[in-house]
Amino acid sequence: MKNQDDSLNHAMIEFYEKLSSWEMAVVKDKGFSLPQVHTVEILGLNGPMRMKELAQKIGVTTGTLTVQVDKMVDAGLVKRVPHANDRRSILIELTENGHMMFTEHDKLHMQLTQDLTAKFDDSERAKLLEFFERINKEF
């Protein structure tokens, strides 16, 4: 069992490192930072969010996120808008350019997913999805 745990541990680390390297290579060509692209991904998938919610999803403090969002506003990727039901809250949402970046980046992720699982049959793909969903619930 110990050997299997070691192998699983090393396989997960190797996958993470390869995925991170791929992501860095893709992002580097666009002139944006990885945290900025991750912010665009989260907003693209979830829609407008409060700063606190967005910071939690990214795993940073609201102070760190504020600096990042300021840069992203200047770059034309996101905008701050008043919350419709809570006058004290500000939502961060993608601009048209932010949506275009999300769509383009999401297509790259889709292509990578298709390439990595091309030799999997439907049941293997379903099982892999189940495993990722279970793992993601643990975070």
> Both tokens of residue 34?
């990885």
pLDDT tens per residue, range 111-129: 999 999 999 999 999 999 9
Cα–Cα distance, 90 to 54 (Å, whole number): 11
pLDDT tens per residue, range 51-103: 999 999 988 999 999 999 999 999 999 999 998 888 888 999 999 999 999 99
0.85 cut: is pTM over it?
no
Mean pLDDT over the full length of the chain: 92
Q: Residue 137, Cβ neighbours under 10 Å: how many? A: 7
Instruction: List Cβ neighbours of 5 (8 Å cut-off, separation of 6 or more).
Output: none
Cα–Cα distance, 38 to 58 (Å, whole number): 7
Selection from 130, 129, 135 nearest residue 113 by Cα: 129
